[in-house]
Amino acid sequence: MTIDSLDKDLKSLTDNLLEMARNQTWNKISNNCKYILTEIIDSEKNFFEQRKLRKQLNELKIPKDLNQILPDLKAILENIYDLNLYVYKAKAEQIIIEIQYYPKSALNKDYFEKVKDNKPMLHCKIATPPYAVDNKIKFDIHWELGGFRHEWKMFW
């Protein structure tokens, strides 16, 4: 991925993410995408605490069109080690995609020297709840945001 191909790469990655979401979840997935940007920060907190904090921070962000978020990404592209697309919220009329990035500057010094000239790695992922690990059942894409259905399945 380069600055010149960033737009095309993110559109392709978004298409892959939407297809994965449609195949793995029962939610209606729109093609109308908005984006939010999140830096992945190393933390000693457990997964549940990190997820809760990330949700609180994301609720404060204003989703943007891809062409509005591209300048922000281009400005930090040289420092991105890993870039991941996740579905944050999906509604019938719009989907919010969270672009998470891990900066090269957060890597330890020795490893940074090895990868400082590498292009960012690109991934798209669907967070899977513990009760759907066998990929045989479709699940609610919003399970990470909580809710009765998720709590019931976790209990069951």
Question: In this predicted model, what pLDDT tens digit does every residue of 52-72 receive, in sequence order?
Answer: 888 889 899 999 999 999 999
pLDDT tens figures, 72-130: 999 999 999 999 999 999 988 999 999 999 999 999 999 999 999 999 999 999 888 87
Are the C-beta atoms of residues 51 and 145 closer than 8 Å to each other? no
Residue 1 lies in a domain: no
**Residue-range definition of the domain harbouring residue 136:** 6-155
Cα–Cα distance, 97 to 109 (Å, whole number): 31
Q: What is the pLDDT of residue 127?
A: 85
Would you call 105 helix, strand, or coil by DSSP?
Answer: helix
Q: Which residues contact 65 (CB under 8 A, 6 or more apart)?
A: 34, 35
Number of domains in the chain: 1
Structure confidence at residue 153 (pLDDT): 53
Question: pTM of the prediction?
Answer: 0.85
